[in-house]
Amino acid sequence: MTNLVRPHGREQLKPLIIRDKKEISTILEENKSSPTLLLNSAAAANVVMLGAGYFTPLDGFMDKKNSLSVATSMIMSDQLFWPIPIMNLTNSKDSLSVGDNIILLDPNVDGNPPIALQQIESIEKFSDGEIKLISQNIFGTNDSNHPGVKNFLSLGKTLISGPIKVFNYSYFPDVFPNTFATAFEIRQQLDSLGWEKVVAFQTRNPMHRAHEELCKMALTSLEADGLLIHMTLGKLKEGDIPGDVRDAAIRKMVEIYFKKNTALISGFGFDMLYAGPREALLHATFRQNCGCTHLIVGRDHAGVGDYYEPFAAQEIFENDLVSKSLKIKIFAADHTAYSKKLNKVVMMRDVDNHSKEDFVLLSGTKVRDMLSKGQDLPPEFARKEVADILKAYYSSK
């Protein structure tokens, strides 16, 4: 039995899923006349993460006091560190009352089936000022051009708090049967592999040569037992490559270019927030719950546009509260790119006498443009086998 890092805030994982199908049937029968609430996608993603143990040790949705405290100071009323409020926000509270058991409905599956039961402990309203305060603290901005802010401001101002019991993991096990995994399942896999020092790589994109080499650099530098390539499988922003295509591309890269039994490929059911430093902290927190000891945090981790300073997501881990609260550490990285001078992928900060022209650098827009035109990506930028999968996707659009 390996000695994995313990979960955040407690000795054992706390998944909120009900595994007994009969128990779920009984709950649904007992609550067949209970009120229902159709969740937004953000709240539904929170349900999946709570059910799968990723958000250990939380027991459900935060109330107003805790949401504001987490947003402003990253501390809950019981002194637990948590980086981003986990909320059930809605535009409607018709027919809901404190003390009710309500059936939460899944917005992302046809027919909106039940996904969880929530016991309502409070129904509270945020003012416009409080919503802006939360947004400013999570995203560092209230600019509605920021995709995370735009989505957050659309969720509503009524907060339904209380513990939940989760019935299922929404569409993720069906759509991503070989990739979606719970935190408990990942811990089991790490345990069976005998890994103890594990570095996680967060991705919402296919992995190009630079990502591949960055992961190998981290494995070597940390003398880690293995790498968890952990994909965001939830909703992304327009233009991002779909999860199934990304999954196929990453699996092909690992199959050919990684040493056997050094990389575990998995995914989690959460929507990207594009919240930069705060999201990096959330990524680290739930990777600790998976059993990882390190998280690769590069330039502009979980960022979008120019909203965050390049290394802000690394610097936030130097905060005393963060360093005292989390057991997981970061592998701080700069951009990696192929050096034409050295004929290999390097971390850009580690090489001298290089100008921008000495690296093979392609923007996401340029990559998408080339792929959509059926053009080959430079071999210094992408493995051919990966590029072929991406070309096939773009040619089918």
The reply to whether 240 and 294 lie within a common domain is yes
What does each C-alpha distance from 82 to 66, 77, 283 come to in angstroms?
10, 11, 11
Do 203 and 164 have their domain in common?
A: no
The contacts of residue 144 (CB under 8 Å, 6+ apart) are 150, 153
- Where helices occur in the chain by DSSP H, the ranges are 21-30, 41-51, 64-73, 128-139, 147-153, 172-175, 183-193, 209-222, 243-257, 276-290, 312-315, 320-325, 364-372, 384-396
Residue-level pLDDT at 364: 72
Cα(70)–Cα(86) distance, rounded to whole angstroms?
9
Structural domain contains residue 16:
no
Q: pLDDT of 240-269, one tens digit each?
A: 788 888 999 999 999 999 999 999 999 999
Residue 2 lies in a domain: no
Statement to judge: residues 151 and 185 lie in one domain: no
Q: Examine the fold and report which residue of 169, 194, 214 is the final residue of a domain before the chain moves on.
A: 169
Residue type, 161: S
In tens, the pLDDT along 158-207 reads: 999 999 999 999 999 999 999 999 999 999 999 999 999 999 999 988 89
What region, left, alpha or beta, does residue 275 occupy, with left being phi > 0 and alpha being psi -120 to 50 degrees?
alpha
- DSSP per-residue codes, 91-114: S--TT--TT-EEEEE-TTSTT--E
pTM above 0.85, yes or no: yes
> Are 142 and 188 within one domain?
no
Domain stops at, among 146, 169, 192: 169
Between 22 and 3, where is the model more confident?
22
pLDDT computed for residue 73 by the predictor: 98
Characterise 18 by phi-psi region: left (phi > 0), alpha (psi -120 to 50), beta (else).
beta
127, part of any domain: yes
Banded pLDDT at 1 (limits 50, 70, 90): very low
Q: What is the pLDDT of residue 93?
A: 66
Residue of 204, 251, 319, 368 marked catalytic: 204
In the predicted model, is pLDDT for residue 71 greater than 80? yes
The per-residue pLDDT for range 143-156, each reduced to its tens digit, is 999 999 999 999 99
> Is residue 4 a part of any domain in this protein?
no
Residue 287 annotated among the catalytic residues of the structure: no
What SS3 state is found at 160?
strand
Q: Judge whether 15 lies within some domain.
A: no
Q: Is the pLDDT of residue 36 over 80?
A: yes
Task: Answer whether residue 220 is part of any domain.
Answer: yes
The pLDDT, as a whole number, for residue 272 is: 87
User: What per-residue string of b and e applies to 130-144 under the rule 16 or more CB within 10 Å gives b?
Assistant: bbebbbebbbbbeee
Q: 31-45, 47-61, 338-352, 361-375 — which is least confidently predicted? A: 361-375
Side chain identity at residue 14, one-letter code: K
Cβ-Cβ contacts under 8 Å for 305 (sequence gap 6 or more): 145, 146
Q: How many domains does the chain have?
A: 2
Burial 255-269 (b: 16+ CB within 10 A, else e): eebbeeebbbbbbbb
Q: What is the CATH number of the domain that holds 73?
A: 3.10.400.10
Do residues 213 and 238 both lie within one domain?
Answer: yes
Give the residue, 356 or 16, on which the prediction is more confident.
16
Residue 94, pLDDT score: 72
Q: Which of 205, 251, 319, 368 is catalytic?
A: 205
- With respect to residue 147, please indicate whether it lies within any of the assigned structural domains: yes
**Shortest CA distance to 131 belongs to which of 73, 68, 41, 44?**
68
CA distance 144 to 349: 33
146 in the same domain as 225 = no
**Domain that includes residue 148, residue range:** 21-169
User: Are both 161 and 197 inside the same structural domain?
Assistant: no
Strands 329-332, 294-297: pairing is parallel
Give me the chain's average pLDDT, please: 94
The SS3 of residue 124 is strand
User: Residue 235 has what pLDDT?
Assistant: 74
Q: Tokens for 181?
A: 């995994």
Q: Which of 139, 169, 199 is the last residue of a domain?
A: 169
On whether both 246 and 194 belong to a single domain, the answer is yes
Flag whether 7 is in a domain.
no
The helices-and-strands tally (H runs, E runs) of the chain is: 14, 15
Indicate whether 31 pLDDT > 60.
yes
State which of 231-240, 278-287, 339-348 shows the largest mean pLDDT. Answer: 278-287
Tell me, yes or no, whether 101 and 54 share the same domain.
yes
Calculate mean pLDDT across residues 4-11: 96
Confidence of residue 366 (pLDDT cuts 50, 70, 90): confident
Residues 181, 326: one domain? yes
CATH number reported for the structural domain that contains residue 376 in this entry: 3.40.50.620
Q: Domain check: are 163 and 189 in the same one?
A: no
- Model confidence at 92: pLDDT above 60: yes
The yes-or-no verdict on residue 349 having pLDDT over 60 is: yes
Judge whether 204 counts as a catalytic residue: yes
Encode pLDDT of 131-146 as tens digits: 999 999 999 999 999 9
Quote the tokens at residue 273: 């927030």
Confidence of residue 95 (pLDDT cuts 50, 70, 90): confident
Is the confidence at residue 26, as pLDDT, over 50? yes
Q: How far apart are CA 274 and CA 362, in angstroms?
A: 21
| Separation between Cα atoms, residue 109 and residue 174, nearest integer Å | 11
Residue 385 predicted with pLDDT over 60: yes
Burial class (CB in 10 A: 0-12, 13-18, 19+), 114: middle
Q: Answer yes or no: do 72 and 198 share one domain.
A: no
Mean pLDDT, range 94-112, rounded to an integer? 94
